[in-house]
């Protein structure tokens, strides 16, 4: 029986993956190269710094550390312009209902996200109080696929990994959950997330299943 549930944020609870994509694409446009949605799969679940390195690699662009830092900040500024406008209409279908269902059953809930904007977003969409623990990009040093974020989540919930489940939309996040020894449900496409123990289209499917 499951005692704890750990949720990724971007692409699982809120539809922010599109804003991350638009903000990176905005940088790529300035540099004059194409940045596609399939390129963007590689950035899902990956830290801001590492994402920038991947974008630069795709564009064949070399920057020094100082310029990298400035570009990462510019990307975040652009991203913030999008997420400042967010409200609860940007919760993905079933997300809030499923969190409420789990709470009713006594399941403890943690956020496990690489984002440094996670707490801000939870506040914007009005679900911060549904989480017993929030592990985000300000609390961990090793990015997914390292298991740190999910192991820290289990620890903060006071639960063993084998009593928990992870919900993830990113390959890197699924790898992190597997490395942590936690059962993982992929949210998205089977052809991308095949490593997960189970793949579903969205949390609304679990709400309907009851």
Which residues would be at the binding site for ligand G6P (CB under 6 A)? Answer: 10, 20, 43-48, 51, 76, 113-117, 137, 170
**DSSP letter string over 145-207?**
TSTHHHHHHHHHHT--GGGEEEEESSHHHHHHHHHHT-EEEEES-HHHHTTSSEEES-THHHH
Return the DSSP state at 114.
S
Q: Which of 8, 29, 191, 197 is catalytic?
A: 8
Q: Give min distance, CB of 48 to Mg ion, in A.
A: 13
48 labelled binding-site residue:
yes
- In the residue annotation, 146 being an active-site residue is answered as no
- In the residue annotation, 10 being an active-site residue is answered as yes
Q: Give min distance, CB of 115 to ligand G6P, in A.
A: 3
> Could you tell me which residues come within 8 angstroms of residue 81 by beta carbon, excluding any fewer than 6 positions away?
none
Q: Give min distance, CB of 45 to ligand G6P, in A.
A: 4
Instruction: Write out the residues near Mg ion by the rule CB under 5 A.
Output: 8, 10-11, 45, 169-170
Binding site, annotated residues for Mg(2+): 8, 10, 168-169
């Amino acid at each position: 029986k499951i005692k704890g549930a750990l949720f990724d944020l971007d692409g699982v609870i809120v539809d922010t993956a599109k804003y991350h994509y638009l903000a990176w694409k905005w940088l790529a446009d300035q540099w004059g190269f194409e940045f596609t949605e399939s390129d963007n799969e590689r950035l899902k679940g990956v830290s801001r710094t590492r994402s920038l390195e991947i974008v630069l690699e795709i564009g064949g662009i070399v920057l020094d550390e100082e310029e990298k830092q400035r570009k990462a900040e510019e990307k975040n500024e652009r991203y913030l312009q999008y997420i400042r406008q967010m409200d609860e209409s940007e919760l993905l279908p079933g997300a809030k209902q499923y969190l409420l269902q789990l709470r009713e059953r006594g399941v403890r809930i943690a956020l496990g996200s690489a984002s440094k904007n996670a707490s801000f977003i939870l506040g914007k969409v009005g679900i911060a109080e549904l989480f017993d623990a929030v592990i985000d990009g300000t609390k961990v040093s090793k990015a997914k696929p390292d298991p740190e974020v999910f192991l820290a989540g289990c620890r903060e919930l006071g639960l063993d990994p084998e009593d928990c489940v992870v919900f993830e939309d990113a390959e890197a996040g699924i790898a992190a959950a597997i490395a942590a020894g936690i059962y993982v449900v992929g949210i998205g496409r089977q052809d991308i997330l095949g490593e997960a123990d189970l793949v579903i289209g969205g949390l609304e499917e679990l709400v309907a299943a009851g």
